[in-house]
Amino acid sequence: MNLQQMGNFGAKKQITIGRNDPCWCKSGRKYKQCHMAMDEKIKRIQDSGHIVPDHSIIKTPDQIAGIRQSAKINIAVLDYVAEHIKEGITTLQIDQWVYDLTTKMGGIPAPLNYQGYPKSVCTSINDQVCHGIPDEKVVLKEGDIINVDCSTILNGYFSDSSRMFCIGEVSPEKKRLVEVTKECCDIGLKEVKPWGFLGDMGQAVHDHAYANGYTVVREIGGHGVGLEFHEDPWVSYNSKRGQEMLMVPGMMFTIEPMVNMGKVDIFIDEANGWTAYTEDGLPSAQWEYMVLVTEDGAEVISY
């Protein structure tokens, strides 16, 4: 299963609104004084052959405020993991921390029971690319690199981000993979601004990984997020500048490339139907930022 098949990616019909009607964003302002100019600009770009977002994925100020509250929990949970993760603990212990702190703060771990996923968090070690399932038998040992991917629901609003952790002394090769993957996200983030294209970000991520001798997983990518766990658009990091969806203020999506030290190929564990591994057994790293496109750039909502 890939994230393209997982989410809620249906295009919705746009309804025509009169200039003096209330804006679709529920600001209470007339359309002509609110989103009308932006919609016209989007329409012109669409007419020139580009993919554009529809209203359902452009967040209103109220929605953004709600999503920020959800992200507060997500960030706190990852901060907690960062402080406590160490050699000798099990990935099931991490799952307990995530469940306990998320619920204590009033949230729900989004992965739990999501399309049958059995745990509250994903913990992916070394050659696990993503969707590693916490397990009492998996003990962290010195030299491991692990991605902890947290997602929170609060009052129906979703947040999603992940970080890498190095357990004890890690080989220079693995350490560099972890660092370069973080750099990929930061370099991608610089490309997030209104009226650019997702491919601007995707190509920047891709080029930095390949310049360092790495590959970027093709089948699994990022996604819109906020009102659902996985919304439009599906986000590739093997895309080209000037292509993919137009970015407009109020859009939210993840930058979450999976960067392989070796070959690009992956396979899914048939026994659990979730966990992706590198085909060649070499390590893979991933960081995930959840970003908002603002009027003049981008803001990281969860990390």
Task: Name the token pair of 299.
Answer: 């803001």
Angle at 151 between CA 148 and CA 152, to 5 degrees: 140
Residue number of the CB closest to ligand MF3 reads 111
Identify which of residues 89 and 114 has a Cβ nearer to Co ion in the complex.
Answer: 114
Q: Are 180 and 208 in contact (CB under 8 A)?
A: yes
Strand order in the sheet with 266-268: 128-130, 276-278, 266-268
As a residue count, the chain comes to: 303
Q: How far is the CB of 301 from Co ion (least distance, A)?
A: 12
The answer to whether 231 contacts ligand MF3 (rule: CB under 6 A) is: no
Q: Which stretch binds ligand MF3 (CB under 6 A): 88-96, 114-122, 138-146, 166-174?
A: 114-122
Nearest Cα to Cα of residue 289 among 200, 223, 218, 242: 223
Q: How far is the CB of 288 from ligand MF3 (least distance, A)?
A: 5
Helix axes 61-84, 91-104, angle to 10 degrees: 140
Identify which of residues 69 and 272 has a Cβ nearer to ligand MF3 in the complex.
Answer: 272
Which 225-264 positions form the footprint of Co ion (CB under 5 A)? 254
The option from ligand MF3, Co ion, none interacting with 233 (CB < 5 to 8 A, set by class) reads none
Task: Name the DSSP letter for residue 114.
Answer: G
Q: How far is the CB of 286 from ligand MF3 (least distance, A)?
A: 8
Residue of 117, 158, 214, 237 interacting with ligand MF3 (CB under 6 A)? 117
In DSSP terms, 59 is beta-bridged to: none
Q: List residues binding ligand MF3 (CB under 6 A).
A: 3, 111, 114, 117, 122, 131, 149, 151, 160, 223, 254, 256, 288
